[in-house]
Each structure stands twice: as C-alpha cells, then as structure tokens.
C-alpha cells in the first residue's frame, strides 16, 4: 500500500518547498523548486498533486535540490508525525490508491445530521423537568437574567470553542488538547465528567422506561393508594378530589409520591438501612437503556447522525405538548403571571 502526502508552501524569496512522504520507503522528502504542474489552491498557498502512479520521490528532477531523511515511525500518517498541532501554513493532501480511499476518521453523512446533533445536545431532560422548578424556586422571571448571562457569555462560547476545535482538527477531546500541553488535562477531565453525567442520565432513562412500561394499564398504578406499597394512613390518591394543601407540616403524601418512593426506588426510612437489594425490574430497564445507547453510538457519527433526526425533533414536540397541556390546566394564569413577575430581591440571594 502506498500513501503519498504532498505539501507545498511559499517561503521568502519567491521559491516554494514541497514536502512529500512515501509510506513504502518510510521517508520524508523536501523538494526545492520554482514550479510544478497540476495545481491545488488552498488558503493562499499552492499544493501540487501528481496524476500518475509515480512515487513522491519521482517529483524530483536533476535540477532540483532534494533532502531526504528516514522516518522512524513510518506507520503513522504525516499529520501525527508533525511537530505542529495545527498549522495555517501547511496544507496536507492524502492521496491513496483504490480501496484505501475511504479509510480514516468517520465523517458526517451530511450537514443536516451534524446540525440536528447539535440541536439534540442543546435540548435534554433538564429543559423539561429541571428548568421549570429551578426558575420557580429562584424568583421566576428574575432567574432568567443570570441564566441568560451565563448562557450567552460562558456556556455558548465554550460550546462553540469545543465544536470548532473538534471539527477543525478531527481529534477527540484527549488528543485535541495536546496542542497546548499545559492544559492537556482538560481533555481527561472532559472524559471523566462525561462518564459521570452519562451514568446519571442513563439512570433517569431507566426510570422513564419503567414508568412507560407500567403505564400500559387501564388504571395508572400511581393514581390510587395500593395497600401493597402505600401507607394507607398517610396516602392521598391523586385520582380523588382531595387536596394536600401547602402546609409543610402535613404528614399526607400523594399516591404518586409514595408509588415512586416506596415501590419504584424502595426508599429506606433511614440511611442506616443501607441501599437495599437490587430490583430486577429497574435492572432490566437500566440494561435496556444502555443497550439503546450502544446501538446509537456503535458506528460513531454514522449511527448517531441517523438517530439525531429523532433526538433533535421529538423533544420539541414533547415541550410544545406539555405547554399546551399546562396552559389549559386550572390556575395556569396564576402560574404564568408568577413566572413573568420578577422577584428582584432573589438576585441577591446566594442560595
């Protein structure tokens, strides 16, 4: 197999230097000359490519001075052997024969899949269940001010930085930061943080799958107080017209809360009781969640790009559905006005 890398860039004095690499011989070659036929233009510099089967060394002529040195790590591509992480001066063209043309790092099938993947990353579970209660507890409309400031001046710039560096270099987060050795630990910390967040969200996926499965009943199990798991003296069925009130000293609990705490997660009365035994139903849902994640990423961006059509569009459908349901509930006007009326004193609250 032969892979030739030919790079040409200008230098002072009007001359040009061609750097060529031959996988067969494992050698770099530097060719100093005035001009070569067959021009590619890239970012103001000129790159040349041969049309014939000649090796890179055949570009040299008797009139051309040529410097050759041996590559001790010839199995690596030129991009990895370069001392530079990124360079605006050097343009690298990989010329491969026949069947080798499709090898290399995977690319997005089309720009739409890449765009949808970015949208899917921006909308998650936090937008559905965490943001509303967070805004409610932190001053309603006043919460939007610090939220938007952090989002626009910290969140999105960092998001764009990672996105741009990844697309430009085609490297993962660990290898990418080697261009700045002083902060290469950032890449490792990103991997650790992603792994921690992943386990957290997969556990939420398992709970979602469990609720989805048990909802296929004529009567929702959390809408009634079932003696099999409910404390009948303190349980209030959500299907009844009873009200729990707003007193924090009330010992009453809704059937949906007791269903989650006593039946789904088997919450212990005290921390000294331990974590309890594994629940086979939740374990099965957790395994199913990991399986879905595996098939989503098994082929890298090729499979992730296809699932992006669903993961990017479906959350917005859910959000608009919940919005339509929420504004039609009793007391919706009071809730909307509470959210739109800012409580400015909460901005000074450190909590």
Residue 327 corresponds to which tokens in the numbers above?
């504004």
The angle subtended at Cα 145 by Cα 140 and Cα 151, nearest 5°, is: 115
96: β partners: 3
Cross-strand partners of 142: none
Integer-rounded Cα radius of gyration of the chain: 30
Rounded to whole angstroms, how far apart are CA atoms 227 and 185? Answer: 54
244-267 burial: b if 16+ Cβ within 10 Å, else e: eeeeeeeeebbbbebbeebbbeee
Instruction: Dihedral sign for Cα 104, 110, 115, 117, please.
Output: negative
**Cα–Cα distance measured from residue 343 to residue 351, given in angstroms and rounded to the nearest whole number:** 14
Q: Is 127 annotated as a binding residue?
A: yes
Cα distance between residue 93 and residue 117, in whole Å: 28
Question: Which residues participate in the annotated binding site for Na(+)?
Answer: 123, 127
Residue ranges of the annotated binding site are 123, 127
């Amino acid at each position: 197999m032969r892979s030739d890398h030919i790079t040409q860039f200008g230098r002072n004095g009007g001359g040009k230097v061609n750097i060529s690499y031959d996988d067969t011989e494992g050698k770099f070659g530097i060719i100093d000359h005035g001009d070569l036929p067959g021009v590619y233009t890239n970012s103001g510099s000129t790159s040349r490519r041969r049309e014939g089967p000649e090796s890179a060394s055949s570009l040299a002529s008797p009139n051309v001075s040529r410097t050759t040195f041996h590559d001790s790590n010839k199995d690596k591509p030129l991009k990895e052997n370069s001392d530079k992480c990124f360079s605006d001066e050097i343009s690298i063209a990989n010329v491969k024969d026949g069947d080798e043309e499709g090898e290399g790092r995977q690319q997005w099938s089309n720009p739409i899949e890449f765009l949808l993947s970015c949208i899917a990353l921006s909308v998650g579970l936090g937008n559905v269940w965490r943001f509303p209660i967070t805004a409610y507890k932190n001053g309603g409309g006043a919460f939007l001010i610090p939220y938007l400031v952090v989002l626009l001046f910290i969140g999105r710039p960092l998001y764009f930085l990672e996105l741009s560096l990844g697309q430009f270099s085609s490297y993962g987060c660990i290898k990418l930061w080697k261009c700045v050795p002083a902060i290469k630990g950032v890449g490792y910390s990103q991997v650790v943080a992603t792994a921690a967040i992943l386990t957290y969200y997969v556990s939420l996926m398992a709970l979602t799958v469990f609720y989805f499965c048990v909802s296929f009943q004529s009567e929702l199990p959390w809408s009634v107080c079932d003696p099999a798991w409910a404390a009948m003296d303190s349980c209030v069925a959500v299907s009844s017209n009873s009200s729990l009130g707003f007193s924090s000293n009330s010992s009453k609990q809704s059937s949906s809360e007791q269903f989650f705490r006593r039946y789904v997660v088997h919450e212990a009365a005290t921390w000294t009781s331990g974590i309890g035994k594994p629940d086979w139903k939740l374990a099965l849902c957790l395994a199913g969640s990991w399986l879905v994640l595996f098939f989503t990423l098994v082929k890298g961006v090729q499979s992730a790009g296809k699932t992006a059509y669903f993961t990017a569009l479906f959350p917005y459908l859910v959000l608009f559905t919940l919005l339509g349901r929420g504004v039609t509930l009793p007391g919706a006007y009071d809730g909307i006005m509470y959210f739109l009326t800012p409580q400015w004193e909460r901005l000074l609250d450190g909590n």
